[in-house]
A and B are shown apart, each in its own frame.
Chain A
């Protein structure tokens, strides 16, 4: 089954800086989702972007999708300590269930 792969695996930045993480996938999709997981908690849905969309915003989040390169990026602007978490992309498989990547661990330094 196909799977999104996030890059980098881990990222540390100073508070206030922007954080960018990427997701690559293998086969054509009709949408892609991003989720956040705080330590020891369940996942929280952040945003869904459809294949006919190139960019989508939600507060300080900006997601792009490039279907020709089979990749997506998640940008968090003006990072805060509360943004420290793992971020996962999720893509549909051929049976229309979703497959999660291994995640990017983001650490915001004070």
Chain B
């Protein structure tokens, strides 16, 4: 099992460009999450999907959109990138319910720089 995979690993964008970060898990997990991590900070939740076909906003959703394509895949899209979105992005999944009672499994992260 690969666990949680993310592509790309690194990306540099110019302000105003768009891109989609891909995430997939092969553990048959129901819930998936997108976080961002800024230097010296903990993770902040952007969006999550409690089950296939549902998505909800987290703490910092502005400037992002998500798609739960199927049970395995959860993508994060930046429609018009801004320098404030320079960060490391992590995808995570949990087997059943929300992450407050269930172990989260994290991907390796995508390091995004917006110039």
Residue numbers of A with Cβ under 8 A of B are 1, 3, 30-31, 33, 35, 40-45, 48, 88, 90, 92, 96-103
Per-position 1/0 for B51-73, Cβ under 8 A of A: 00000001100000000000000
Nearest A residue (CB) for B88: A40
B100 touches A41 (CB 8 A): no
B59 touches A43 (CB 8 A): no
Nearest B residue (CB) for A91: B100
Q: Tell me the residues in window 55-107 of chain B with beta carbons closer than 8 Å to chain A beta carbons.
A: 58-59, 90, 92, 98-101, 103-107
Hey, which chain B residues are within 8 Å of A42, CB to CB? 4, 90, 92, 106-109
By size class, the interface of chain B is 20 to 34
**Bound-state Cα–Cα, A86 to B45, Å:** 18
Hey, which chain A residues are within 8 Å of B59, CB to CB? 1, 99
**Bound-state Cα–Cα, A31 to B100, Å:** 8
Some 21 contacts from A to B, beta carbons below 8 A apart, are A30-B101, A31-B100, A31-B101, A33-B103, A42-B90, A42-B92, A43-B43, A43-B92, A45-B103, A88-B43, A96-B98, A96-B100, A97-B58, A97-B100, A98-B45, A98-B98, A98-B99, A98-B104, A99-B42, A100-B43, A102-B42
For residue B34, CB closer than 8 A to chain A, the reply is no
- Cross-chain contact of B103 among A1, A48, A92, A103 (Cβ < 8 A): A48
Report the minimum CB–CB distance from A85 to chain B (whole Å).
Answer: 13
Report the minimum CB–CB distance from A94 to chain B (whole Å).
Answer: 10
A97 touches B43 (CB 8 A): no
A100 touches B42 (CB 8 A): yes
Report the minimum CB–CB distance from A100 to chain B (whole Å).
Answer: 4
Given contacts A43-B43, A88-B42, A103-B42, whether A97 and B106 have CB atoms under 8 Å apart is no
Report the minimum CB–CB distance from B115 to chain A (whole Å).
Answer: 21
Report the minimum CB–CB distance from A44 to chain B (whole Å).
Answer: 7
Hey, which chain A residues are within 8 Å of B108, CB to CB? 41-42
- Cross-chain contact of A102 among B40, B90, B99 (Cβ < 8 A): B40
**Bound-state Cα–Cα, A40 to B10, Å:** 12
